[in-house]
A and B are shown apart, each in its own frame.
Chain A
């Protein structure tokens, strides 16, 4: 039995949800469903870090508390960067649905810049704290802050790498069955990160400053 190796043909079916009696069936919906489950696990990961933050947020061990440390303008700016990047990401996807490869890549580039902006602001904030002597070593509160916000930042950075790869793929291969599917999944990830940030902004910064 000599099996043949066949390359997939590029077709432009945006939502192929066809029922074929072979392992191709439902590739798109399977991939998306699986990714939702992955997001669920990521959500629980963040939930664990959140819960820990809640438990430890008052363990300042003689160091600064949230109220003393945080100001609102910076996290607000970060929120705006992410929020807008979510919108532009959405635009990129809309362009992809319409098959407009160049516009999609362009909007991805804007999203990328906004994401980079977010990361720069966050690194600056972290650096400031560290220079003041309020690094993650100072107290349990600061450890949990850096871990929670830092994990989110790490996810955003991973997302930026993914975004760059996606932009390259779309630019190179165009909008195909595969690249479209991957774009959809990527955008789910990006929106998810924005959602997590809203929680961080609210429960870490906002409530921290107001308490």
Chain B
């Protein structure tokens, strides 16, 4: 760049960056109804979002100086600027090194401690304390739909589940399919759904609404269809829904399940649960050689 003004380049890049910076709050504002991770409706999601924002803020303490220095040094020490000091032997500076080894180290320690504490607090396997009794739902990832089993209520459903608000939900999750990931971003983080394995997730909805859930790990050609709705409603509406489902003419037993488990993408369906131990039977499939194997 012999004659081209460096200034123009620096100003242009700075403006472009600032535009993108400005787009952040603007787009958050514009899309706010859709940004489930930043505007969650459940306590777990809220805690996770807050941690994200805190860490982000701490990181900015390092990142903003980096950008400022980048622009200042590029401008001040450009070759055409004969006024700036030129010190070709300045290759070491103990204080500077101490600062940029030390300050990031301190900040990392802060973030690490915070992370350590929060990781234990927000362990998906950790029950949520509440005056309300925990609801148990068993989840089976299939190709390519989600099966929700309510063992105590003796109902089951495909691609839809309803829960009462302010009630801790304890999910037990497995798969009869390749690895999937069970995720309802409005309520909290995900956990993998794996065959021959049982994972657990605790979530709670503190507001009512329809929350989109999906699989977050590719499991075959129909994977994009694995989205479902989790509806959080009042206790009464939830009980009404249960009653509705129990009137369903569809029965889910192990035999019907085997039909269901075949690869397909499905619409919402509701079942009476005939087999209380269906979840365990599904997990057993992988533990021992099946009859006829």
Which residues of A are at the interface with B, using a C-beta cutoff of 8 A? 61-62
The size of the chain B interface, using a CB distance under 8 A, is 2
B291 proximal to A (CB < 8 A): no
Docked complex Cα distance between A62 and B288 (Å): 6
Nearest Cβ distance between residue B9 and chain A, in whole angstroms? 45
Q: Which residue of A lies closest to B289 (CB)?
A: A62
- Please list the 4 inter-chain residue pairs (A to B) with the smallest Cβ-Cβ separation, ordered nearest first: A62-B288, A62-B289, A61-B289, A61-B288
Docked complex Cα distance between A61 and B289 (Å): 7
Q: Give 4 A-B contacts (CB < 8 Å), ordered by A residue.
A: A61-B288, A61-B289, A62-B288, A62-B289
Nearest Cβ distance between residue B292 and chain A, in whole angstroms? 14
Which residues of B are at the interface with A, using a C-beta cutoff of 8 A? 288-289
Q: Which residue of B lies closest to A63 (CB)?
A: B289
Docked complex Cα distance between A61 and B288 (Å): 6
Question: Cβ of B288: which chain A residues have Cβ within 8 Å of it?
Answer: 61-62
Task: Give chain B's interface secondary structure class.
Answer: loop
Docked complex Cα distance between A62 and B289 (Å): 7
Docked complex Cα distance between A61 and B290 (Å): 11
Nearest Cβ distance between residue B291 and chain A, in whole angstroms? 12
Question: Cβ of A61: which chain B residues have Cβ within 8 Å of it?
Answer: 288-289
Q: Which residue of A lies closest to B287 (CB)?
A: A61
Question: Cβ of B289: which chain A residues have Cβ within 8 Å of it?
Answer: 61-62
Docked complex Cα distance between A145 and B288 (Å): 20
Docked complex Cα distance between A84 and B288 (Å): 43
Nearest Cβ distance between residue B194 and chain A, in whole angstroms? 15
Nearest Cβ distance between residue A39 and chain B, in whole angstroms? 35
Question: Cβ of A62: which chain B residues have Cβ within 8 Å of it?
Answer: 288-289
Q: Which residue of B lies closest to A138 (CB)?
A: B289
Docked complex Cα distance between A98 and B289 (Å): 61
Docked complex Cα distance between A61 and B286 (Å): 9
Nearest Cβ distance between residue B26 and chain A, in whole angstroms? 49
Nearest Cβ distance between residue B288 and chain A, in whole angstroms? 5
Docked complex Cα distance between A61 and B196 (Å): 12
Nearest Cβ distance between residue B225 and chain A, in whole angstroms? 32
Q: Which residue of A lies closest to B286 (CB)?
A: A61
Nearest Cβ distance between residue B190 and chain A, in whole angstroms? 25
Q: Which residue of A lies closest to B288 (CB)?
A: A62
Nearest Cβ distance between residue B186 and chain A, in whole angstroms? 36
Docked complex Cα distance between A100 and B288 (Å): 61
Docked complex Cα distance between A62 and B290 (Å): 11
Nearest Cβ distance between residue A52 and chain B, in whole angstroms? 17
Nearest Cβ distance between residue A55 and chain B, in whole angstroms? 14
Docked complex Cα distance between A62 and B286 (Å): 11
Docked complex Cα distance between A209 and B44 (Å): 48
